[in-house]
Structure 1
């Protein structure tokens, strides 16, 4: 129907839905929420008021009822104080008939006085020893006459009566009992009723009483007493400790068992119970003197009738608002659609792409959005491309400045502005070059891990200094610091900030900082960078962070000869041939500790250590038992360059010396035990001799010779034997095909496996299986 009203066009209907959704969100939804909140508040208010009023009313009713029962108890105790009763109990056998009749008449009159109580139905006095009953209606006669003829009970209630008239009782209440009243002589049924027996024994403290005064509380009177006439929606009841209902006023939707269950489950607190499709709030008030509980049952459905009326009105209001919103949305969508259609028609006049021609059936807004989206996508892709390449371009530009390729002030200012790096390019600047020596703890780090670590370091430095960064080498980072115009922040001040930040991470590397001088602009950065790198070449072998500031003290440092004398080289060769490796190591350590000054440049000390290693490697090359390849030698040279302290150089020489001693003293069988174990466990894999030679730092030829000397077999013979032994086990113990067995024992094809098996065993695998089966 809405489409028919709006006319043709999906876009018109979308506009209508858009405005209608706004109406729902901004107007109708708050209205619904407010209605729900009001409904919830009213319901909660009614429930709270019901709980409050129920508690007040039931409390008042309970207080009034307890007062009446207290009055009844007082009247019963006053009646038992009659002197004639005490006289009759003590000397009943001694009294003559006239005296007995006089006492009975007095008792009868006093029992009739009890009948006038607001709750009493009738009263009687029961003497269990003599079986005599004095009734307020018929006088006195035998108990069998009273309990069987004038007052008839059911059998279960007779049992309850026997328990009631046993032992001391003080205002003990029975459960409600149905009692039929019969005329003594005519046996005519005078009426029936439900009564609660209230019993007081006499004497009061006697364990075996002589008499029991009983007042039958009429439940109808008790019901009228507890009824709340002003609140027809609230029913009341009185319930004893066993859950028996003593009286019930009003409608009766809940039985005594349900009320007692709710009392026990809630611990006496108010409860909400559903029954017969209705909900009831139950309040309890425990009598302070008697073993019963007053109950108020409020019919919440009846009390919530105003809420239902309010809910109906709210629904009607919401429906009206829905209709009003539909009309307003229709009007607004028509107003907005007209200019959009005009814009779409104007855009359609220009050239169209193939995609637009195929989508000519789209809505006007879709065509406008397609054209604008194309422009936005092109802009975003260009922006993303520029943003992604900006850091690379900046670093490339800074690298050209630091290398001296760009020195012209105008060119630097122009290019810096083009790439967005013109800020502070003309102010005082200084280059601080940081050289890193990564510690062994970072050996497992990838290049990405180190880049992340350096990025974190850059961020920490950037928080304290205005700085640009440029990676000169893998282990060298240039920090281009912007200095203050008033000279309050000089190169050394900036260097102290770098020292503090670098010292926080000395667990991962040793570092040296070369501090370049201040220059007047970015076009002179190459001068400061060259000064910083020259200072780095004079760094010392110290742990932590070494700050290289001034070159004035270079001339005062003692020179270090970077090459060993010929006599020392010959001495090292003699010690090696004699197997005196410890002496060789002691000589190197003494050289590092005593003969090289503590302020010697690290570069010169490393060159001297490289010459020592060259001497050792020449000695090893001359020994056929120790074969160190070019790859291992290059590794040693790289390790020397990575050492930043004297202690690291000592540890490197100790490891190298240990390898020399191990190559000489290690027993060949033990040396190749791991190789044999891998062959036995992985004979089915591609086991190459080059792999094991590389693991043992040997050339392939040296490994092959040493293996045969240690094991007694060639390497390939051992591999072939392990493979064929496994193949024979599979042939005799399984039904696998030859192709599967060949693949499991390390052969690429069935033919190569058969050929090797026949050459070694003299028969084919198939015949071997036949012989062993």
Structure 2
């Protein structure tokens, strides 16, 4: 009977519990993937909005001639290519200009929508009339791709559009980002594993679905599509079960809210593979026990007459009088069976509950103890509770070990930064196995950050020297084993020994803090908190010269020089300061000095980090190579890039002022020195900047302006050649030479050829 009950419970409750847990797991994973994709798309929208401020997409696009302005066109195409490479989900970035119907992309160059392509003109005219500046639009075609295919097969149905200008009223164009359906599908399929991953919009149109599938799988997709559309208006996120051909599937869906449109991501997996073995086993248990029960009943009926007399004697011996048998009308065998089954069932249930709950309760208690949440409990209460969970507390002293793993990204390519929790989990298991081989009472804490804590209980009478010797041997064995298996550097800190269990959180915090004073020159080491002095160079020299050179390179916008100086700074610091904590303090000092210098120069450094606490991040860096990589990627590269962009815009404004001066005073002897004095810049700097921006030198540009004006006067007026020469700032003879050198003919010949 108990086994039959277990089989029924397994069939009824087990299958339902499996389905419930699968649904819950799918919903959690779905929410995680949905959040990741929303962050990915939101980041894409933010970056597109930021790109709209790029001067390349300025008012010049209204009337620019792309064939004549080769350098501008090349810069525009390079900008579109950079935008395309910022996100792997982007298929192509296009720029549409309304007044000349130009469609520009990095791969196809400049194309124009023909007058006969009315569908394209209508589609793009509609987006230019839209009130929103940034929005998603559906099925927007790209002209000029192929005569048979007017839109790419790999393109996503929705395109992200940002109208230009960003803050203007009269829009003259739009930036269009098209996504790659295959890459989007691959992104979601990683979540689905061997299931189905689908995406549609709130109108029910498919955005991502499996194309080359069997008819049965297509029916499943359509069934999921219809069920989700019925549920979605009431619940934007849900999990439910659906059945097709006696196969049960767990279906989960969630909703993306994207700037005026909703996308529904759905996934389905076959849960029959999980519940099938449970159903089979439960049915088999029920069948076997039914047969056994029927056989027992038959045998009992046949043997009852022969065995009843001995049983009666047994009952008489058990129950001394009639009142002990209850009512006196119950069968003695049933009474014994009933009492026995009740006691067995209760004992079994209690044992199961205790066995199930005890590890969870012990784990919860130890975590609360480590985190310091049991501060309100007395020492006696803590010892009583930990004794309940199997620890001996009489005549015990306590200590801690903290194991820190180092060089995750340098482990011969074996791990990367995303494997931090996985590596910590593996290390915690290895440490626990080694510790239990040497010590009877220990508890391992996984801090999930490449560090593992160990709480140890030892006999009180054991001398401190013996304790330290035993822990040192254990620490060395941990270092050797972790080196061999994980190929990582290991530092072990031995905490102080205390008679008080309540000091465990304090001992762990002190040990973790002491790890900051480890020697950077040693890949593996054991640090003892009982040492009077932490080994290290307290008098290291701060490299002020390299700091000054690094800040100078950043201010000048020199990326290679700045990266090289950053590497020299960290190397110099590492050669003199061999303690991790001192390296972190010096790096924090450098960051503060860089920010202070750039702030004084009017550079808004804090806008880059969006609330990130740089000093906390510095304190999490353990290795010199990690510090260098973080410094170069977080500080040097972004700052140099911004300085270059700001410097380029300032140079362009300076050149435009020179151009306006030349156009106003071309008839005078306006020298480059006068322009430099007027603008307050150096002559050499202005000369280089002018040629860099305009493509020709200052003198050649003045000559070009004068010749252009003289050509206009030759055609439109009857002035003498000498008079025209004087008006454009030349003597007559010199004017003839300059004009002929520029146009290939004399002024007189030029006038005659245009009459």
TM-score, normalised with respect to structure 2: 0.35
* Bigger-Rg structure (1/2): 1
TM-score, normalised with respect to structure 1: 0.34
